[in-house]
Each structure stands twice: as structure tokens, then as C-alpha cells.
Amino acid sequence: MEPTSTAHPAPDMEVVYKRPDTLLDTRMHYCPGCGHGVVHRVLMEVVQELDIQQETIGVAPVGCSVFAYNYLDIDMQEAAHGRASAVATAIKRIHPSKYVFSYQGDGDLAAIGTAETIHTCNRGENILFLFINNGIYGMTGGQMAPTTLLGMKSTTSPTGRTVETSGYPLKIADLVAMLPGVVYVSRHSVHTPNAVRQLKKAMIRSFQYQKEGRGTCFLEVVSNCPSNWKMTPVESNAWLEEHMFPLYPPGEIKAPK
Amino acid sequence: MSDIEIMKGNEALAEAAIRAGCRAYFGYPITPQSEILEYLADEGRRRGMIVLQAESEVASINMVYGAAGAGARVMTSSSSPGVSLMMEGISYIASAELPCLLVNVSRGGPGLGTIQPSQGDYFQAVKGGGHGDYRLIVLAPSSVQEMADFVYRAFDLADKYRAPVMILADGALGQMMEKVRFPDYDPAEHVVPKPWATTGKTPDRARNIITSLHIETEQMEQINIRLQDKYRLIAERETRWEEVQTADAEWLIVAYGLAARIAHRAVDLVRARGIRAGLLRPITLFPYPSKPLAALAGRVRGMLTVEMNAGQMVEDVRLAVNGRVPVSFYGRMGGIIPSPDEVVSALQKMVAQDVLTETEAN
Amino acid sequence: MARGNVVFEIENCKGCELCIQACPQDSLELSPRINNQGYHYAVLVRDNCTGCVNCALVCPDAVITVYRESKKKEKVPVARISGVRQDITVSIGPGDD
């Protein structure tokens, strides 16, 4: 029988890392190397370690992560495109003691859902935004997104995005950071082990703020899209650092005193 | 039963929602129904209801989706243009089988239109204004008392069938003041368990997912089959209508909501002139009372449908009658309310036409 | 150097090579063999793995389990979170960060 996993560890070794039980072992549909899978995994590690699987309700958007609820072993709702934060608002109002997050891509959160994003933040809803920014519409095959960089090619900016045709890349995280209802805004990536550790800490911190009812937490993850950027996963991480970070620098944008 | 009060239709509806145990309201101001939001923002909040004025009707309907999916009794209200904005959300709610109350206090259209009452949203409400094969249970009040009564019925129907229910009213019913009493209704006795709701996955059950996404077409068809089976069941059990003086009627007027009040007056007026007319008032617009109409088609010489639009429900009357008797239409559009006399003369014209054809036939 | 080991869930690996890039010891490579999805899956090719967990952290498909020689290590509590039912201390050991 073909082995299902490689080498067997010596008996005196202990497990120091394994996939969280809160992440279902359904094979994820994401393209090889896609950041969504890492964010899902880290999120479920946090849900497991904080022991809040029974207290967490998630909202999935329309976009590549539209099937997130096939992988996250928590109660979840699927929102119409752009409306995840409105759905999350209502869930939180109905179940104020639960942890609620709105998991959205750049099209969902910063194009069609901009009004919901701005107003959910402006109401200071006690939810966590998990905003995956890969500067492109992945699920529909590589169209331009609000966060697509100037000069960046996509199927709808085939010769590179220009200001004249499509305006400027939208720095939504900085926009919402100005709203008093938003208490914590931090930009991350998952392209290195250290970046992943930082994201995990930021998620733990966000859930703690949510538990304390401090207001809206907004975590942006600048992520890759190997398929639609038309490069290998390893190349995409280098490209991300070189091209995305100048406009979307990782780091804390806003945090409570 | 509470004692009698004089209230605006919109406020009676809102008060009924509080008494019916509505847990949350999400909505947006739009004439002629803003009083519902205003009343709930005051009285509703004071008595523990979650009342959120959202940034748009689009956000509102998706909040209804979220709250319903989280297991709460929830509602929204709007008027024609706003309800159009809610259509996508309503289609998702119907597909995900989420119980909720939707209220359309319709106004003259199309477009920005006017704020006068209209029945121009019949097709949108009854034939499904959003995408895909779905229906809403649609209740059509024709008095302030029914604006209140239908709230309780709508919430119970929504929970019973796990389905969105719409109250299709209009600006006049919303703004007019009439006597109203609130029935004794203890929400605690109307609680329906919702094991499917997203309340936080407990170890004893698998995770709950509220979704309308079914990428495997076979599965999408199963969802549709289940919905259609549900609609047939609802049609069998929940069709409601009222008949006025139809026992000996030779002529039948078919009208709902505000138009039914006018038609009712017209029936009295023509009877005084020797024309035996009756009225059938659909109360549920879906499921539509086709059977009683078909039965009456065997006993009357003709039917006149009276609506405040260009003629929408008349199509369903014709479908029910299936050509056995003439079905004609009288309506006013753009928010104009027809007078009883106009209805009387429309009916008289029909009668004259019938006499004419009868003499020709002899 | 602590001895470590990694085990890959062959069928779920998509050969994205991100673990290979993240490994400080160059212990990993794609196997010449392919799994049922047609991907060359990652394998441990040298026994200089220290169990540092880097590969598992960047793996988008959570296919990696990491083992390390079990010498008792002092865990430094970093974040103290009051969980809903009981308090949870999230500790990050020296091997992490």
C-alpha cells in the first residue's frame, strides 16, 4: 500500500507541531502555495488554543474563500458578495458573547462591500475583519481588484492598471483606521515563518479585544495569488515583498493605548 | 386582547412586531414606511429589541440573513425602491430557507416614483423579484387591524416553514389611522427550535452552515426540489382569502389590500342598483386562492379585477379561471387611488357588454 | 543540535515548495514521485532537521507534523488570555520566537 506520509519519527520524539483539530481534514481547494490556506490554519490554531471553537461564528465571503466553511470546524454563514460584515454585524448583535469574524478578500471587502466595510467599522461593531489582500480577483480568474497595483496586469487591466482608466489602489486598512470605532488595525503577511507567527499573535490579540468589547479589529493579510499572478508560489512571495509591501507595508497601523 | 387604540398602520405593525417577540429589526428610512423604524427605534429598543438603522437596504437585508441564520426572530421593512435593493438578499434568504418577516409598504413607481400608495409591486412580491426559482409567502392586509394581525401570522408561518414571509401593504395602509386591538400572544408559546442556526458549534453536533451556495448542480437541483415541495405544501395548507356576498353573486370583483376596500364599497353600490355582485379578496397572494376562483367561475357571468397598477394580479385570476368566464381589469397607476364609482362604472360596462352579447346570441 | 523530524501528509501536499524555501537546514526537497493529485510531494532528504517548525508554519495545506527530541524545555508564557471557560496561557517556547 502506498505510504500516506513520509518517514516515521523515532519513538523518543514528541510532536511539537501538528495541524489543529479545528481545521477539518478536507483537502482545501486553494491553488498550490495560496495564502488563504495558511490564514485558515493559523485561525483554527488560535480557535483551538483559546478553546473557543464553541464560541466562534465565522462569515465567509464570495471569492476564493467562498468554501471556507468546508474547512473551518465552527458554525459559519455564507454571505452575499460584499455583505459579510453586515451578516457578521447581525450575528454579533444576536450573540454578543460569541467571537465573530468576517473573512473577506479585496474585491468583497474593498469593492462591492465598501459601504458595509466602512459602516461596520464606523459602528465599531465588535467583530474581527480578516482581510486577505492579494491585489486580484482570484475566484473569477484574475480580474483587477481595488487593491491592484498601478501597472499591475490582470485580465481586466491587460496592459497594466492605469490611473486614467481605473484610479488608484485602495488602501482600505488605512481608511478604516481613521474611524473611532476601529480599535486595532494591523497589516500582515504569511509568506515567512516569522510573519505567520506575527499574524497568530495579532489574531489572539484581536479575539482578546473582542472579548473585552473594545470595538472593531481589522487584520489585513497581504497575500499571494500564484495562479493569477502567473508565477510559482516561491516567486510570488518574492514578488509580494518587492511590489506589494511598498504600498501595503506590514505593521501595526492602529492599536489601543 | 388589548383594548382598542387608534394607530397608524405602520405603528400598529411595529407594535405587533414587539409583542410577537421580534428579536431584531434592521432597516433604512424610506417614505411611506419610516414610522416602522422610528417606532421600533423608540418603543422597540426600550422593550429590548435590537434595532439597527443600517447604511442601506442592501446591508439591512443581509443583516436579516445573518440574524435569521443565527436563530433569531427578525424583520425588516421598506418601500418599493428599497425592496428592489433587497432582492438579491431575499433570494439568498429563500434559498438558505431562513425564517424572517419582510414588509413592503409599496409606493407608486416605477423608478423613484411617488410616495402615494400603489400595488405595482405584485409581480415582484408574488412571482419572486430576485433571481432563481423561489417564492415568498405573501400576506396582503387591507386594514390597520390586519397590518397588526398579519405580523403574528407571518412570524409563525416563517418559523413553521423556515421561510421568508412578506407583508405587502401600501402607503395608505401604512399612513392611515384606524382602530386596532392586539391579540393575546405569548411569544414563548410560539418558539420553534432552530437546531440548524449558527449559535456556536457545541461538541454534540456538527458545525452548522448557513449558505445558498451549492456548486454541485445535482445538489442545487435537490435544494430547488425541496423548495418546490415546500411551496406546494404551503399552498395546500395556508391559502387564505375572504368572500363577500359571493353566495348569490352573478358578478365577481377580485381585489386585495386597499383596492379590496374600494371594491367592497362598489359591491354595495351596484347591489343597490340591482346588479348582484360579490367580492373575493385574496389574503395570501402566494399561495394564490386559485381554487375558490375556479369554483366561482362556474357560478358567475364574469369577473372584474381591480388593482392599483397596470394589471398584474389579473393574470393570476385569468390563470385560475382558465377562460371559462370573461375576466376584465380596471386599475389606476402611479399612486392614484380609484374611487368606488369608477369601479361601479367598470362593472356596469361589463354587465352591459354581457347583455349585448347575450341578445346577439339569441 | 536537537534532533527533529517532519512527516508530510503525502496526498494533501500540492508541491508548492514553500516549506522547502522556509527550511533553514535545506532538509527538504520535492520527491520525484507524485501523489494521487499528480503533485510531487515534499519529503525530508537530509537528517539535519532540528524540528524548528518553520516548514509547518508556512504550509498552506497543513500537511506537516513536526517532531522534536523530547528534552524538557522551559516554556515562557507570552500571552495570558482569559478563555471563556478557563484561562489559557499561550506559551511560546525558545524554539519558536
Tens-digit pLDDT profile for residues B154-172 = 999 999 999 999 999 999 9
**The C-alpha cell of B317 is what?**
385570476
Query: Which is more confident, A55 or A7?
Result: A55
Nearest CA in chain A to C52: A16
Sign of the alpha-carbon torsion through A139, A145, A146, A149: positive
Q: How far apart are CA B169 and CA B232, in angstroms?
A: 24
Q: CA-to-CA distance for B169 and B124, rounded, in angstroms?
A: 13
Over the stretch B242-252, which tens digit does the pLDDT of each residue have? Answer: 999 999 999 99
Scan for cell 479545528, then name that residue.
Answer: A22
Asked if pLDDT for residue B105 goes beyond 70, the answer is: yes
Coil, strand, or helix at residue B195?
coil
Nearest CA in chain A to C91: A49
C-alpha cell of residue B247: 353566495
Query: What confidence tier does B7 reach under pLDDT thresholds 50, 70, 90?
Result: very high
Chains near B, with 3+ CB pairs < 8 A? A
Sheet containing C4-8: order of strands? A13-17, C64-69, C4-8
Instruction: State the Cα angle at B276 between B274 and B281, rounded to 5°.
Output: 140
Choose among A253, A102, A88: nearest CA to A179: A253
Mean local confidence (pLDDT), A101-109? 98
Q: How far apart are CA B321 and CA B315, in angstroms?
A: 10
Cβ A41–C96 below 8 Å, yes or no?
A: no
* Mean of pLDDT values over B138-159: 98
User: Which CATH code fits B241-361?
Assistant: 3.40.50.920
CB contact under 8 A, B69 and A77: yes
Compute the distance between CA of residue A59 and CA of residue B102 in angstroms, rounded to an integer.
23
- B residues 273-332 closer than 8 Å to A (CB): none
Average pLDDT, chain A: 96
Residue A90 CB neighbours (<10 A): 32
DSSP A15-47: EEE---TTB--SPP-SPTT-HHHHHHHHHHHHH
Which residues lie closer than 8 Å to A71 by C-beta, 6 or more apart? Answer: A23, A24, A26, A28, A40
Angle, vertex CA B178, rays to CA B175 and CA B182, nearest 5: 105
Q: Express each pLDDT in A166-214 by its tens digit.
A: 999 999 999 999 999 999 999 999 999 999 999 999 999 999 999 999 9
CA distance B44 to B36: 10
ipTM summary value: 0.92
Confidence check: pLDDT of B146 > 50: yes
Q: How many CB atoms lie within 10 A of CB B281?
A: 22
Q: Treating both helix axes as pointing N-terminal to C-terminal, what angle do A193-211 and A35-49 enclose, rounded to 10 degrees?
A: 50
Average pLDDT over residues B280-298: 98
**Fold of the domain spanning B5-238:** Rossmann fold (3.40.50)
- The pLDDT confidence band at residue A2, using thresholds 50, 70 and 90, is low
Enumerate the domain spans of chain B.
5-238, 241-361
Residue A44: the pLDDT is: 98
Residue C87 has pLDDT above 60, yes or no: no
Identify the closest residue of chain B to A71 by CA–CA distance.
Answer: B207
HSE on the CB side for B113, CA within 13 Å? Answer: 28
Q: What's chain B's Rg over C-alpha atoms?
A: 21
pLDDT tens digit string along B210-227? 999 999 999 999 999 999
Identify which of B55, B207, B211 has the shortest CB distance to residue A115: B55
What are A56's strand-pairing partners? Answer: A99
Q: Please determine, for residue C43, whether its predicted confidence score (pLDDT) is greater than 60.
A: yes
Nearest to B209 by CA among A72, A128, A108, A36: A72
Q: What's A36-254's CATH class?
A: alpha beta
Grid cell of A78 as nine digits: 455564507
Which residues in chain C have Cβ-Cβ distances shorter than 8 Å to A6?
6-8, 10, 31, 41, 43-44
B contacts of A93 (beta carbons < 8 Å)? 24, 50, 52, 67
Which residues are C81's β-sheet partners?
A: C88
Whether residues A13 and C53 touch (CB distance < 8 A) is answered with no
Closest residue of chain A to B207, computed from CA coordinates: A75
Peptide bond preceding B193 in cis form (omega within 30 of 0): no
CA-based nearest residue to B2, from B187, B186, B181, B185: B181
pTM for the complete prediction? Answer: 0.94
Two domains, one topology: B5-238 and B241-361: yes
What's A242's DSSP letter? I
Helices B87-95 and B217-238: crossing angle in degrees, nearest 10, is 90
Q: Using CA atoms of A157, A159, A162, A167 in order, give the dihedral in degrees to the nearest 10.
A: 0
Given a cut of 80, whether residue C95 has pLDDT beyond it is no
Please tell me the distance from the alpha carbon of residue B174 to that of residue B182, in angstroms, as a whole number: 17
Q: Per-residue pLDDT tens for A5-43?
A: 766 666 788 999 999 999 999 999 999 999 999 999 999
The reported pLDDT for the residue numbered A6 is 64
Q: Check residue C93 and give its pLDDT.
A: 47
Tell me the one-letter amino acid at B341.
Answer: D
Taking the C-alpha atoms of residue B291 and residue A211, their distance in angstroms, rounded to an integer, is: 56
Q: Taking residues B267-272, report their average pLDDT.
A: 98
Do A83 and B209 lie within an 8 Å CB cutoff? no
Handedness of CA A156, A160, A164, A167 (dihedral sign): positive
For an interface test with A, the pick among C67, C73, C92 (most A C-beta atoms closer than 10 Å) comes out as C67
Cell numbers 386594514: residue? B143
Backbone angles phi and psi of B305, in degrees to 5: -95, 130
Task: Note whether B338 and B295 are within 8 A (CB).
Answer: no
Q: Which of B40, B9, B246, B26 minimizes the C-alpha distance to B106?
A: B9
Q: How far apart are the first and last CA of chain B?
A: 58
Average pLDDT over chain B, rounded to an integer = 97
At residue A8, the pLDDT reads 65
Distance between A64 CA and the closest CA of chain B, angstroms: 13
Scan for cell 387591524, then name that residue: B145
Share of chain A above pLDDT 70, in %: 96
- As a whole number, mean pLDDT of residues C50-74 equals 89
Q: Kindly list the residues from chain A whose CB atom is less than 8 angstroms away from the CB atom of residue C84.
A: 51-52, 55, 97, 211
Which residue has cell 454578543?
A: A96
Whether the predicted pLDDT of C97 surpasses 50: no
pLDDT at B132: 97
Taking only Cα atoms into account, the Rg of chain A, rounded to an integer number of angstroms, comes to: 18
Residues 6+ apart with CB under 8 A from B193: none
Between chains, do C10 and A4 touch, taking CB under 8 Å as contact?
Answer: yes
- In percent, how much of chain B has pLDDT > 70? 100
